[in-house]
Amino acid sequence: MSQVPLLEVEDLAVSFATRAGRVPVLDQVSFRLNKGETVAMVGESGSGKSVTAYAMLRLLDRAGRVDRGGVRFAGADLLALTDSEMADIRGREVAMIFQNPRAALNPTRRVGDQIGDVLSRHGAVPGHQLRARVVELLDQVKIPDPARRARAYAFELSGGMCQRVMIALALACSPALLIADEPTTGLDVTTQAAVMALIRGLAKSRTMATILITHDLALAAEQADRVIVMHAGHIVEDAPTAQLFAHPRHPYTRALLNATPKTSGALDDLQAIPGGLPDLSGPDVPPCRFVSRCTQPIDACSRDPLPRLVEGERRVACHRPLEAA
């Protein structure tokens, strides 16, 4: 399968200026995404999932900097575009659902008007149809009473409704790539199922590719074609969904699965992953950043550069991967 990928992230490295000096946050992040493909990005909090998305869309805050690497989207080198070219792509061809919907919405503007703004900025619908289209979009994400709710401000909506407004905003222009950062975190499971069905439907009918950033491994399992596992700014595993869940190769992936609540079992059966993410601002970050938490480290882990094993469609960054079964 030598399809030209829609998105190619190559050796991306990002750092942030902090009081304690420059902290490298992403390192050697590489992955690809085909047209219409859905890939889930999982990994613990602080592992760099959102930063990866922000870096791709050039939305890092001022302290952040891309130190190395490239992002190609539909043939364009996103990191080399002018700001206005980038602004053009953002919202129209690549859309993002932000992790914190209430903060991402403008508090002083009615939510319907905000969606209208996006539509008219990209000339997506003629002016006289704007209102109707806005209400239709809100209806699509299952906001009850959409015509009235279009007139509400963000603070008048529940957390989950803000989330759905964000989704409506992102989908307004039928993007080719949707980056959804925890799109269903604030939603109950029935609404979550409806929203994911909506995203999946669009992905199918318009061959929209999706990056689904989530903590919910069960959701990732159900929705994604492929799963990328991040840990401390590295991609440690990248594999087709069924293979990853059946036989995780990286010890961190297995640990994540053991920490996930299931539909049966008790709280005490769940195992937290020992230790925390290493302090990346320090001088001697080991090549494998999982080594201090790993159940089966060998000498090479803290000595040699991290290997990138490729096996068919799977990639794993580990000196001693688990049995493939």
Ligand X SMILES: Nc1ncnc2c1ncn2[C@@H]1O[C@H](COP(=O)(O)OP(=O)(O)OP(=O)(O)O)[C@@H](O)[C@H]1O
Provide the minimum distance between the beta carbon of 246 and other proteins in the complex, in angstroms, as a whole number.
Answer: 8
Distance CA 303, CA 215 (A): 31
> What is the torsional sign of CA 203, 206, 211, 214?
negative
Judged by beta carbon, residue 271 or residue 296, the one nearer other proteins is: 271
Quote the least distance from Cβ 109 to ligand X, whole Å.
16
Residue ranges that bind ligand X, judged by CB under 6 A: 16, 18, 25, 43, 45-51, 61, 63-64, 99, 155-161, 186
Nearest-Å Rg of the Cα atoms of the chain is 20
Give residues with Cβ within 8 angstroms of 48, minimum separation 6. 14, 25, 26, 29, 230, 232, 233
Give the count of beta carbons closer than 10 Å to the beta carbon of residue 129.
12
Least separation in angstroms between residue 113's CB and other proteins is 14
11 binds, among ligand X, Mg ion, other proteins, none (CB under 5 to 8 A by kind): none
Write each residue from 239 to 258 as x if it is in contact with Mg ion (CB under 5 A), else as -, in one continuous string: --------------------
Burial class (CB in 10 A: 0-12, 13-18, 19+), 20: exposed
Q: Which does 128 bind (CB under 5 to 8 A by kind): ligand X, Mg ion, other proteins, none?
A: none
Beta carbon nearer to other proteins, 156 or 313: 156
Residue numbers 140-179 binding Mg ion by CB under 5 A: 159
How many CB atoms neighbour CB 121 within 10 A?
Answer: 14
In sequence order, the 6+-apart residues with CB closer than 8 A to the CB of 269 are none
185 binds, among other proteins, ligand X, Mg ion, none (CB under 5 to 8 A by kind): other proteins
Our CB check for other proteins shows the closer of 4 and 103 to be 103
Closer to other proteins by CB, 9 or 161: give it.
161
CA distance 95 to 177: 6
CA–CA separation, 77 and 247 (whole Å): 35
Least gap, CB of 159 to ligand X (angstroms): 3
Per rule CB under 5 A, is residue 103 in the interface with Mg ion? Answer: no
CB of 123 to Mg ion, least distance (A): 32
CB of 306 to ligand X, least distance (A): 18
CA distance 257 to 153: 39
Select the residue whose beta carbon is closest to ligand X and give its number. Answer: 160
| Tokens at 87, concatenated | 């602004």
